[in-house]
Every structure is written in structure tokens, then in C-alpha cells.
Amino acid sequence: MRIRTVLFVILFAGCRSVAPPPPPVPVSPAVPVEAARALMQRTDIARALAAVEADRDAIVAEWRTLTEIPAPSGQEAKRAELVEKLLREYGLADVHRDAKGNVMGTRRGTGGGKRVVLDAHLDTVFAVETNVTTRIENGKLFAPGVGDNTRNVEALLAMIRAMNAGGVEMRGDLIFLFTVEEETNFGGIDRFLADHAGSIDRFIALDGGYGGFTYGGTGIYWHRYHVLGPGGHTRSSTPPHSATLPVARAIERIYALPLPRSSWLNVGMLGGADVFNAKAADAWLSVDLRSTVEADLHRLDAEVQRIVREEAERLGMTWKRDVVSTEEPASLPGHRESEMVLKAEAVFRAFGFDPTITNTASNHTSAALHAKVPAIGMGTAPCEGAHGLSENCEIEPIFTGIKRLIVLGVSLAE
């Protein structure tokens, strides 16, 4: 899942009274919870869920093996090779790697159902030389990349094994997809969606989360703003200022912008002169701007531009903006009340979850929705410390996460 490192952290602490928790929200009659429970008890599904229990040790061992294969974004080939080998062993149809490096295989349905893609990205944010040796401590599995996104890669592989062991049948095809370059440029998923346009009915992006899921995507703007001045030596009387001064003033004002609900911003990177004794002729800042509301995203973007322009002009300097990437909020009309989302909620509830359901995805869910494919995003185990060297996941919940995914996949393929 794409996250930028925050170099500025502002903490606000205060004391306030704690209100009692609100009463639980009644479950809508439109959510087919009883149908999900009945599906869990279907003979072939019950055998598959039991197979997950029998496979516990193998699941953890394979999770560790996958995690210990370095897979920086753009360098996923070794991990992809193992996944492709396993898909062939499991008897999936049409197992192959596409021109981008994505690995995929299909578990055929009996016919007449939905074609459902289950996607987990193979890549991590860590350099190839990073120590990714796993260790188990206090019921958690530790290693860089163990959660984002190796837990979900393993969940899909374990799901296939369990469905095979249980002899599970579903009406529609399940396409198991393992993508590349999620952490950088979405190159893998964009290629897959282009190659399979019009042939996908539903899409599940396995990434962050555990207790809930997303049905919409956050809009994300990444820009680099430059303030340009004449530069000079530290002791020179003219020009009086480095271009870093307008940048510093702009950052302070940007962080003072009031943010609407479900909007976020971050100044994560800075640059200026290359030596101590130079006034910067080109100073820059990066802005990561996010919102689930398109109008708010556009308004905040305009505000940031205005601030940088005003601070540059205040000292007689100029400015420019580099567009790194722009992605509008992703949504489909009526998707929150769609059969897909209601079925997903039902499966979560059938497994005892009271799911948080939001439109705040920043992963392949957005890519699928932009391609007009109904999609949700979720994860299969609770993890913490993503993109950090202390990343870890709780082990016990992944078995429930795999079982839930089996029931969800079959339900959505009907």
C-alpha cells in the first residue's frame, strides 16, 4: 500500500471528557447474513474451512519462506517464480506471467457465475539488501514486508489449497492474480486491467486492513513545488535570501490549512542547495494530498498552489510545479448498496465481525474502480509497522482471514 514517509510530525495533545460509545447500528435487512452463514455450512465449503485448520503449520512456514524472498517494487521476479510454480502444482488453468511480470491462474467455475479477480501484490518497499529474515515472538511474525503484502500472497495460496482439499465448486471463475509494482506506479495492475478489459465482473484487492473493507478509493495528488531565485554565497548581500525561505513559509501555511473530513496532506520531502555555503537557487517541497471528495481535493490543490505562488512572489522569486502523479477519487454510483458490497458485509458479519466499511482505499481497489470494475479492498490479518523494519503481523487471525476469503470468493462468484 502506497505511503509516503512523513518528515514533519505535529502532535496535538489535550484533555477531554470521554463520551459513552454510541449504540450499535442495526444491520440492514438487505445484508444477506443468513445466506453467508448457510454457505459456510455447505459441505464442500465446510471441508475447505477444516482444511485451513489442518494446514496451519504449512501456512506459517510458507508465509515465512515468501517473506524471506526479497521483492522490491520492480524486482519481484524471484518471488513470482515461486508463486507461478505453486499455481501450476495446484492445478489452476491458464497459469502464466504476462509481459509486465504479473502472475495469474484461474480456478474454473461450473458456469453461469461471475468472474472474480482476487489480487495480492508481490512487491514490497524494501531494498534488495534489506534483512528480511523472519522471527516469531509473542504470537506475531516479524520481518520487513511480512504484512504489506506477503500475508495476502500467502492467504491466496492457502485459499487455493483449501478449496482443492474441500472439492469446492463455484459457478463463476476465480482468477488468482499476483501483481507487480503496486508500491511505485501501479504498472502491474494497469497492464492487467487493460489486457482484461470487459472480462472482469468483480475485483478484490488484498492489501491493508482486517476488521473491515473499502468500496471506494481515495484521490491522491503528488506534486513537487519549486521556488526559483538567483542563489548566491552565504556572505553575499544580494540576493538577501535563499529560496528555502519561501519554501519554509509555504510549509507553515500549508499545514495550517483546515482539512475537511476524509482529507489528508503531508509535506514529506524537501530539497535545496547542494552545499552549506550556498543560498539555494532552487528549493523544493513535495506535497502528498489526498481526499475521498473530488471537490475538496481540487480546492485544497488550488490552495497549496496559491500559497506557494504568494510566498515566492513575496521575495520576488518565481515558482513551478512538477506533476508526479494524479489520481482522482474512485467510486461507482450506488456501489455502497450494491450486491457485491452487501455480500461482503454479510460474510464479515457471518464470521463475527462488525466491519468498518469506508471509501478510503489507496491501493488496487482504486485502479479497478477507475476501470469501472466493481471492487472492494481488504486484508487477511492484522499487522502493524507497515513499510518499517519492525513490521509484524498477528499469526492466529490469518487462519480466520483465509476462511473468510474462501466464503467471500465463492459468494461473489455466484
- List 212's β-bridge partners, or say none: 356
Task: Please give the Cα distance from 271 to 291 (Å, whole number).
Answer: 26
CATH class of 33-217+330-413: alpha beta
Q: Would you state the cell numbers that stand for residue 304, as one nine-digit string?
A: 497549496
Asked if pLDDT for residue 17 goes beyond 80, the answer is no
Residues of the chain within CATH 3.40.630.10 domain(s) are: 33-217+330-413
Q: What is the mean pLDDT of residues 203-221?
A: 97
Q: Which residues, 6 or more positions from 339, have their beta carbon under 8 angstroms from its beta carbon?
A: none
* pLDDT mean across residues, the chain: 93
- So what's the pLDDT on residue 47? 98
Whether residue 10 has pLDDT greater than 80: no
Q: What is the mean pLDDT of residues 331-342?
A: 96
Pull the grid cell for residue 78.
Answer: 524471484
User: Which residues are 174's β-sheet partners?
Assistant: 107, 116
CATH 3.30.70.360 occupies which residues in the chain? 224-327
Tens digits of residue pLDDT in 353-396? 999 999 999 999 999 999 999 999 999 999 999 999 999 999 99
Confidence of residue 214 (pLDDT cuts 50, 70, 90): very high
Q: Give the pLDDT mean for 334-344.
A: 97
User: Tell me, what's the pLDDT at 239?
Assistant: 80
Can you count the helices (H) and strands (E) in the chain? 11, 19
- Mean pLDDT of the 208-220 span: 96
224: enclosing H helix or E strand: strand 219-228
Q: Which CATH number fits domain 224-327: 3.30.70.360, 3.40.50.150, 1.10.10.10, 1.10.1660.10?
A: 3.30.70.360
Tens-place pLDDT, residues 83-127: 999 999 999 999 999 999 999 999 999 999 999 999 999 999 999
Q: What is the pLDDT of residue 135?
A: 98
Phi, psi of 209 (to 5 degrees): 95, 170
